[in-house]
Structure 1
Amino acid sequence: MEKFYDILKQLIRIPSVVGAEHPFFMSVKRELEELELHVEYYDGVLVVKGENPTSGYISAHADRHGLICTGDNEFQYAAYIAKNQADLNGNSNSESLLKNFTDRFVNEKVQAYEPWSGSYLGLGVIQNAFLCERRNNIIFKVDGFSHLFPGTPIAFVDKLTIEDELVSAQLDNVISVAIIIYMYHLGYQGTAFFTASEEAGKSWRFLLEYFRRFDIVTNELLVLDTSPYKVVEDINRLDIVLRNRDENGVFRSPLKNKIKSICIENNINYHFKDSYLKNIMKQTGTKGSLGVTELGKIIHATKGSIQGTTLQLPTIGYHTAQETTTKRSIQSILEILQALYNTDKAFH
């Protein structure tokens, strides 16, 4: 696993704020072209093809949360600025967390970068963060960025921490990108998609546009991501997270049962997140969202002509720079993917 963690460490250092993913895409493109893979770059999606592109379709979003300069010494949460809000309609669990975010950001180090070249523009520290009810966004006070122009993205300064059996960083969703790259090293020869602006609810449009561009239909689209839990005991009991559905659609794909069988054969602990959430709602007598996924939106928009399932890493500290999962979860997801796509080549 040393090589996997090398890939992850490298990717984490490259900023990829929602709406300003281009430098990250370029880095991933170079990494995969070094493996002599065919890489195509379309609006909002980087597409990678192995020697047998129809043997698998794996997707992961490449953007991460961050800030954006919106005026004179004014900074807002990038995913929720007006130009990104078209698909944020209040029914996702991440949106409901917005009001609880502000305390998490104080004293966090952040770095500004040029959105096209990725050039480093300086280091700052978040002094304060508060929710502006009028704009329905978090407004940040950042020390050291008075020189920045509107539109400049600002990423959290991130590094990978591995302590005992826990792995921490701003994992959502750079860890899934690293898993896919590692899978190509292990011999995966199918297709992979890296999408932009998932945190602003827009990535599914870019992915769907690609499928329509080439008239591709599949019922085996596999979307990798992280999935939030509250306490470390939750993720210690759980290796991977599956779904029967989300708020937008039911997942009807042969992949779901294939993954379930692999879990049973390999003693991998799993549960279905939608069932878990329904159970909590039943116990507490509350109503809430089953969650909103990229895949669910695609299934809904295509009336089921594109289908698939999700495979997620359970984490705590969701949407922070200290999001945490377990080494066992990472190992489990790689075991599942290798079994699913028959890749057992040693890393070279």
Structure 2
Amino acid sequence: MLNSDFIDLLKTIIRQPSVVGAEHSFFRVLQRELEERGAHVTWYEGLLVAQGNKPFSTMFSAHIDRHGLICTGPNEFQYAAFIAGNRTDLLNNSVSEELMTKITERFKNEPVYAYEPWSGAYRGNGIIKNSYICEFRNNLIFEIDGLEGLVAGTPVAFKDKLKIDNGRLYGQLDNVLSAAALVHLFSMGFQGTAFFTAQEEAGKSWRYLLEWFRRFGGSTNRLFVVDTSPFPDTDAANNQQLVLRYKDANASFNLEATRKVEQLCKAHNMSYLFKDEYVEQHNAELVSQGLEPNSIGSTELGRIIAASNGLVDGTTIQVPTTGYHTMSESAAIESVESFLTMLMQLSKEQ
């Protein structure tokens, strides 16, 4: 069974809002939890850094932003990740209408609440009644009953709490699950460094992280980035306890680090899958049918490797989930147990 202290921590922080672009109040919650566990905590723009007595022994990173809305006018709300991302569109790509259409269907009738972004103070609650694509702004517009008086710029979070059912955890797990795991590591005596990044869902978090390494890092820096990894259904997710990668769409990962994680999986009887190989195999089937292939995915680590000119490398460790970017994202307790074991083993071996 999962450690009860970890479950209690996850239950606590999953209820705290952390909408993309409005993560300050969540950083305050993390700071309290980390300092209670003996970590030295430092804030930077878009980044919270927690360190033990051997900060360069092992380094982990997790993004802490979650999807939500931003009030952009009188009784007008837009998808926060699109607003934050469009301001610094790294790839010069606008969000596709297909993606936006899928998202509109996910959140109808979802309960939401507004909060003050710095303190996290509650500002009222409501229900999403309607959503549509605005062709002029290329974004999703949401209509909410109950939040008519909000001031523009106020973040609106989805109501969330952890549920446990039939051997699975349920909630908006991406990526509060990984954040809880890294906080919990300090309870277990972790002495390395844990980075908590903002605005990953808008494609910006890697910049905050790279800035820290340019100022404070060594000549080369090995980083383990932890996250969730979506699968189409429970059967597909349950085929492996952990998800690894050799590369993403941006860069190849550090092969030595990847093999180290793979060796630990084998040593502790953890089943695993390489997500890039999984997608490429599926793409071969799609192409043979005359269909368009899927992207192998873009990660925080791939972006920072591509941009750092050798300063930062590493690999990823992910928990397989279903219900990507919904309030019902789920992960098998068995996978989360393996995930926590992996993090502890890596912190011991470095």
Q: Tell me if TM exceeds 0.5.
A: yes
The residue identity in structure 2 corresponding to 1:194 is: F
1:91 to partner: Cα distance: 7.4
Contact between 1:245 and 1:296, CA under 8 Å: does it hold in 2? yes
The residue identity in structure 2 corresponding to 1:125 is: I
Alignment partner, residue 250 of structure 1: 252
Q: 1:121 aligns with which of 120, 123, 127?
A: 123
Unaligned runs of 5+ in 2: none
Q: Deviations over 1:115-140 (max 9, x none)?
A: 11110000110001222233222110
- TM-score by length of structure 1 reads 0.94
Q: 44-53 vs 263-272, which deviates more?
A: 263-272
When residues 92 and 76 of structure 1 are mapped into structure 2, their CA distance, relative to the original with a 3 A threshold, is closer
Q: 2:323 aligns with which of 312, 317, 325?
A: 317
Contact between 1:69 and 1:151, CA under 8 Å: does it hold in 2? yes
Contact between 1:211 and 1:217, CA under 8 Å: does it hold in 2? no
Unaligned runs of 5+ in 1: 344-348
Q: 2:105 aligns with which of 95, 99, 103?
A: 103
Q: Deviations over 1:102-159 (max 9, x none)?
A: 1110110001001111100001100012222332221101001110010000000000
Alignment partner, residue 40 of structure 2: 38
Mapped to 2, the partners of 1:92 and 1:224 lie a distance apart of: 27
Q: Deviations over 1:208-231 (max 9, x none)?
A: 011112243434200001111101
Q: 1:153 aligns with which of 139, 155, 165?
A: 155
Contact between 2:226 and 2:318, CA under 8 Å: does it hold in 1? yes
Corresponding residue SS for 2:249: coil
Mapped to 2, the partners of 1:89 and 1:6 lie a distance apart of: 39
Corresponding residue SS for 1:18: coil
Q: 1:18 aligns with which of 20, 38, 49?
A: 20
Alignment partner, residue 52 of structure 2: 50
Corresponding residue SS for 1:172: helix
User: What pairs with 1:80-99 in structure 2 (closer than 5 Å)?
Assistant: 80-81=82-83, 84-87=86-89, 89=91, 97-99=99-101
Mapped to 2, the partners of 1:49 and 1:113 lie a distance apart of: 29
Mapped to 2, the partners of 1:38 and 1:82 lie a distance apart of: 29
Q: 1:210 aligns with which of 202, 212, 220?
A: 212
Contact between 1:108 and 1:156, CA under 8 Å: does it hold in 2? yes
Contact between 1:130 and 1:138, CA under 8 Å: does it hold in 2? yes
Contact between 2:62 and 2:178, CA under 8 Å: does it hold in 1? yes
Alignment RMSD (CA, Å): 1.9
When residues 281 and 96 of structure 1 are mapped into structure 2, their CA distance, relative to the original with a 3 A threshold, is farther
- TM-score by length of structure 2 reads 0.94
When residues 24 and 94 of structure 1 are mapped into structure 2, their CA distance, relative to the original with a 3 A threshold, is farther
Mapped to 2, the partners of 1:133 and 1:317 lie a distance apart of: 27
Number of positions where the alignment pairs a residue of Structure 1 with one of Structure 2:
343
Alignment partner, residue 265 of structure 2: 263
Q: 142-151 vs 280-289, which deviates more?
A: 280-289
Percentage identity across paired residues of the two chains: 51
Work out whether 1:299 is the aligned partner of 2:301.
Answer: no
Alignment partner, residue 346 of structure 1: none
The residue identity in structure 2 corresponding to 1:220 is: R
Q: 1:172 aligns with which of 159, 171, 174?
A: 174
Contact between 1:253 and 1:307, CA under 8 Å: does it hold in 2? no
Alignment partner, residue 193 of structure 2: 191
